[in-house]
Chain A
Amino acid sequence: MAKLKVYDPAMCCSTGVCGPKVDMTLVGFAADLDWLKRQGVEVERYNLSQQPAAFVANAVVNEEVRRNINVLPILLVDDEIVCRGHYPLRNELTDMFSLEAEAYPGLLRVISQNGD
């Protein structure tokens, strides 16, 4: 099975519970990655503020970041960029790995869930 690497921007926690408001996009994405793992995808996740070495070590990511830091998050599948600048929804993730999206309330996760 393919390998997914996620390079997050600098943040306190990758699930977004550490801000003055919980970021539901991050919560949903963390759940999706958890689901992908259960489908057998190998997932690695790096946070710029916690694992900066990973951003130095990977040449592709390093070049992107040098050009523009706002490109984060970057997602790589087998070292090829599959998504940048936003967190993909689950249907995008399932497409990346040709998986069947099972019935799941998060399938059409709405980013605007953030509203007050």
Chain B
Amino acid sequence: MWTDPLNSKYLFFTGKGGVGKTSLACAAAIHLAGDLTPVLLVSTDPASNLDEVLGTTLGSAPVRVEDVPGLFACNLDPGAAALAYRERAVSPYRGLLPEAAIRSMEEQFSGSCTLEIAAFDEFTSLLGAAETADRYAHVVFDTAPTGHTLRLLALPGAWTSFIDNNTTGMSCLGPLVALSKQEAMYRSSLEALRDPQRTTLVLVARADAASLQEAARASEELRRLGVCNQHLIVNGLVERTSTTDPIAAALVDRSSNALANLPADLSELPLSTVPLKEHPLVGLAALQCLTTRDTAPSSTVTGCTLPDVPTSLDTLVDKLLLLGRGVVMTMGKGGVGKTTIAEEIAVSLARTGVPVLLTTTDPAGRATSALKPPVNNLKIERIDPVLEVQKYRDEVLEAAAANLDQHGLALLEEDLRSPCTEEIAVFRAFAAAIARGEESYVVIDTAPTGHTILLMDAAEAYHREVLRTESEMPASVRQLLPRLRDPEFTCVILVTLPEPTPFHEAKVLQDELGRAGITACAWVVNQSFLASGTREPFLQTKALMEARWIDEVMQVSPFTVVLPWR
């Protein structure tokens, strides 16, 4: 059984979005808790689906999962963590300081630094605290999609060396001042992560080249950070080959090719495989099937056909051409195909002769290398956090050089090493990309949901600051939210698969955007077996399960496209 080698104290599941991290982490946790062993399951994804998958309402403190004795679970939600963090910092001063002072303190605790630090605080206090280690035999982390995971895992190192190197004690520690007392906790977190006896990193991939490459990249990067005990799981392997159905044959081909050509970084790792299930892996019964040989309890499936909707992106591209210029953003859960759809839209727009910029905010975003040969009128860029930080530092240092002596510059340089700087640099690059939508089409492939929500939160926080203060800000930042709110300028496309988890995540995203005054202009349902016309019985079962989710999309979407499985 694939769960057998996974018995470390700490298990981290990582991989490209949509590969089944949450399902496998849950199944592994349920399996470990089998004989009443106390197990804690933790999601660090700001857009966690753990509640839905387990059918239990979770918070930031561990709660018992009703139907699995021994299993506890919690969500480390950065938004909630930041609020709690702010409350802890501010509440003791209510009554001691005037209301205006309290309000201005609260405003300071709403930026992206606070979110990042609060989330980090919760993460290390789980990983580094003796209580957690004593109470639970195993702690299973269902980590966020890859880019975010790597940053989170790299943080204990980054912060620890930041504290080590910071000598003046008056720099941009932000709320970190309060945290530096917990230095011991950071060190023990880092030690736990690097100890092969205690920690196993589980790399989850699908049997396709892109997801395996992503796993290889994560494997290499984490090995460099000292996390060396790694295990590879290839999830959703297609084993049935009974018919001559072209769709089924393509799936089987793709699986066997991918396994035969594992990236070098992965070929040395212990490997397990998990077969593709026809039912969505939601609810305990379905999850338990992942660790047994049973098939999921069958629900009644009635025949149905695809509703009358466009099955290509052409109509959507025509709608975009009416705008003449502007921003197109693809958003949705990791693994739903945001990048592919952004690429296709960008290429289609460029082929009509208009200038198009294609870029991504995903720190782990793949370079859109698929686009060969180069397309006329299409420019491809990428918001690379490392480069953006470098650019931002250089810009700041250059502007300051005229007014500071060497001591002042050294001080500033040290401050710019603060981990907050990355958040700001990436945010500014995002605002600048949006601003370029004034001159041409800008197609942005966004990061997975959690990261995108944080970016939108930052947009709102800075917008409030714009309204509140006269402070100098780049024009692109000042106009960011108004631009995003303008349906004649920005078109947000929500991308989903015809499955419950990515649908719900995209719906949450749509609601979040709505609260910020941003309306989605279309939904794209990607990789539909129902639209593919497959005759393979196993895939037809999957296709029939899709109908409900396509219907749900159409009820909340102003314009729906359903793309067949490719």
Chain A residues in contact with chain B, CB under 8 A? Answer: 9-15, 17-24, 27-28, 30-35, 38, 45, 48-53, 55-56, 62, 65-66, 69, 104-106, 109-110, 113-116
Contacts and interface: CB of A to CB of B under 8 A. Distances in A.
B18 interface: no
Interface string B93-124: 10011101100110111010110000000000
Per DSSP, are chain B's interface residues mostly helix, strand or loop, or mixed?
Answer: helix
Interface stretch (B172-180, B489-497, B502-510, B518-526): B172-180
Contact of A106 (B108, B171, B399, B403): B403
B174 A34 contact: no
Given A22-B399, A27-B412, A105-B404, 16 more contacts: A10-B104, A14-B171, A15-B170, A19-B424, A20-B477, A21-B474, A22-B396, A33-B170, A34-B168, A35-B408, A48-B108, A49-B109, A50-B177, A55-B97, A66-B98, A113-B399
Given A10-B105, A30-B412, A55-B101, A19 B172 contact: no
A12 B458 CA distance: 14
B98 to A, nearest CB: 5
Contacts of B407: 31, 34-35, 38
B230 interface: no
B170 A20 contact: no
B424 A24 contact: no
B85 to A, nearest CB: 12
B89 to A, nearest CB: 8
A15 B415 contact: yes
A56 B465 CA distance: 26
7 contacts: A17-B418, A18-B113, A19-B424, A30-B415, A38-B407, A50-B177, A69-B98
B411 A15 contact: yes
A17 B44 CA distance: 28
A107 B66 CA distance: 67
B56 to A, nearest CB: 36
B218 to A, nearest CB: 29
Contacts of B420: 12-13, 17-18
A104 B402 CA distance: 10
A52 B229 CA distance: 44
A24 B403 CA distance: 9
Contacts of A104: 405
Given A13-B174, A27-B404, A20 B424 contact: yes
Nearest to A12: B174
B12 interface: no
B72 interface: no
Contact of A18 (B90, B174, B408, B473): B174
Q: Which of A20, A22, A27, A69 has the most CB of B within 10 A?
A: A20
A81 to B, nearest CB: 17
A35 B168 CA distance: 12
Given A49-B108, A55-B101, A13 B172 contact: yes
Interface residues of B, number: 55
Contact of A17 (B108, B421, B431): B421
B104 A48 contact: yes
Interface of B: 89-90, 92-93, 96-98, 100-101, 104-105, 107-109, 111, 113-114, 168, 170-175, 177-178, 396, 399-400, 402-405, 407-409, 411-412, 415-416, 418, 420-421, 424, 427-428, 431, 462, 465, 471-475, 477
A50 B450 CA distance: 27
Contacts of A18: 111, 113, 172, 174, 418, 420, 424
Contacts of A51: 177
A65 B101 contact: yes
B352 to A, nearest CB: 35
A102 to B, nearest CB: 9
Given A30-B412, A31-B412, A49 B105 contact: yes
Contacts of A62: 97
A85 to B, nearest CB: 15
A13 B405 contact: no
A113 B399 CA distance: 8
Contact of A24 (B399, B416, B462, B473): B399
A20 B473 contact: yes
A65 B105 contact: no
Nearest to B423: A18
A90 to B, nearest CB: 10
Most chain B CB inside 10 Å of its own CB: which residue of A18, A52, A53: A18
A30 B408 contact: yes
A113 B420 CA distance: 23
Contact of B172 (A15, A34, A110): A15
A5 B546 CA distance: 66
Listed from nearest, the 10 A-B pairs whose CB atoms lie closest are: A31-B408, A13-B172, A49-B108, A69-B100, A10-B104, A10-B108, A114-B472, A20-B477, A52-B93, A15-B415
A111 B236 CA distance: 61
A113 B364 CA distance: 36
A11 B108 contact: yes
Contacts of B412: 15, 17, 27, 30-31
B179 to A, nearest CB: 11
B428 A27 contact: no
Contacts of A34: 168, 407-408, 411
A51 to B, nearest CB: 8
A115 B473 CA distance: 9
Contacts of B104: 9-10, 48-49, 69
Contacts of A105: 402-405
